[in-house]
Amino acid sequence: MISNISFSRAETCLIMEPMHSNPYGNVHGGALMKIMDNTAGIAAAKHAKGTVVTARVDEIVFHKPIHVGDIVTCIGQLAYVGKSSMQIMVSIVVHELSNYSEPETALTAFFTMVHLVDNKPAKVPELVVSTKEEEEIYKLGERKYRDIRLKYKA
């Protein structure tokens, strides 16, 4: 069974339209969070090969505003797995449509997704690390997993 970080990586690419905007003309934070949640869910479902739910969202940071007409690319990749839970590292990078500018990181977050079978948490495959970069992601994910457990079990 394939279960490495690159296999489950998910990418969503969208142009921001007026329907994504808040009353001030920037893209609505909630619209961006929905894209992140969906992308994290796809990555988790690919890894678990089954149903997943969002259990938790940590550290959503809005680094820069996004405007109508920008192209956003949301990337979700597994960073660590516990028994039934998965840590997904999610980011949104943004390009301007007019000149396809260099990508800039606009949002980052960590999602915890849990695999369910018959509505109960179920074991997920081990996460295989293949490169040095993936090793770094895994170490970060492991740290987050431990910090998060300490927080919510406190």
Ligand X SMILES: CC(C)(COP(=O)(O)OP(=O)(O)OC[C@H]1O[C@@H](n2cnc3c(N)ncnc32)[C@H](O)[C@@H]1OP(=O)(O)O)[C@@H](O)C(=O)NCCC(=O)NCCS
Q: Provide the binding-site residues for ligand X, judged by CB under 6 A.
A: 53-56, 82-85, 112, 114, 121, 148-149, 152
Q: How far is the CB of 77 from ligand X (least distance, A)?
A: 17
SS3 42: helix
The residue number whose beta carbon is nearest to ligand X equals: 82
Instruction: Name the CA radius of gyration of the chain, rounded.
Output: 16
Nearer to ligand X, 81 or 92 (CB): 81
> What minimum distance in Å lies between the beta carbon of 46 and ligand X?
16
Q: Specify the residue, 56 or 95, whose C-beta has the smaller distance to ligand X.
A: 56
Specify whether the CB–CB gap between 89 and 79 falls below 8 A.
yes
Rounded to whole angstroms, the Cα distance separating 152 from 135 reads 26
Report DSSP state, residue 22: -
DSSP label of 125 = P
Cβ nearer to ligand X, comparing 93 with 122:
122
